[in-house]
Amino acid sequence: MPEVLFDVRWPDGSAQSFYSPSLIVEEYFDAGSAYPLEDFVERSRECMRIADQRVRAKYGVGCAQSVMTMAGIERAAARFATGDSVTLEAFRR
C-alpha cells in the first residue's frame, strides 16, 4: 500500500510528523493549509478510519499504525484550546 508521512505544526509552534498507511490524507488536507483544531482532529479521525479499512481489505487485518497515529494526534491536540489552528505543512512519501 502507498504510505505517507504528514508534517503538522501545532498552535504553539511545535512540529510533529505522523504516519498514514494510505494516501487518503492527501484527499482530506492541503499542504500548507491551516485548520481549526477540532476540524483537524475530526478529519484525521476519518482518514485513519478509512486507512484502516483499506489495510483490512487488502491484508485481512486492521492497521495498528493508524490507531497509533490517531492516538498521537488526539494526545497532542488535547494540549490546545478549542479554536486554535493546526497547519498541515507537508506530505512526504
The per-residue pLDDT for 33 is 98
**Sheet hosting strand 4-9, strand order edge to edge:** 15-20, 4-9, 85-92, 33-36
Q: Where are the domains of the chain?
A: 4-92
Distance CA 17, CA 90 (A): 9
Rg of the chain over Cα atoms, rounded to whole angstroms, equals: 13
pLDDT in tens, 16-67: 999 999 999 999 999 999 999 999 999 999 999 999 999 999 999 999 999 9
pTM above 0.85, yes or no: yes
Q: Which residue has the cell 499504525?
A: 65
Inform me whether the pLDDT recorded for 1 exceeds 90.
no
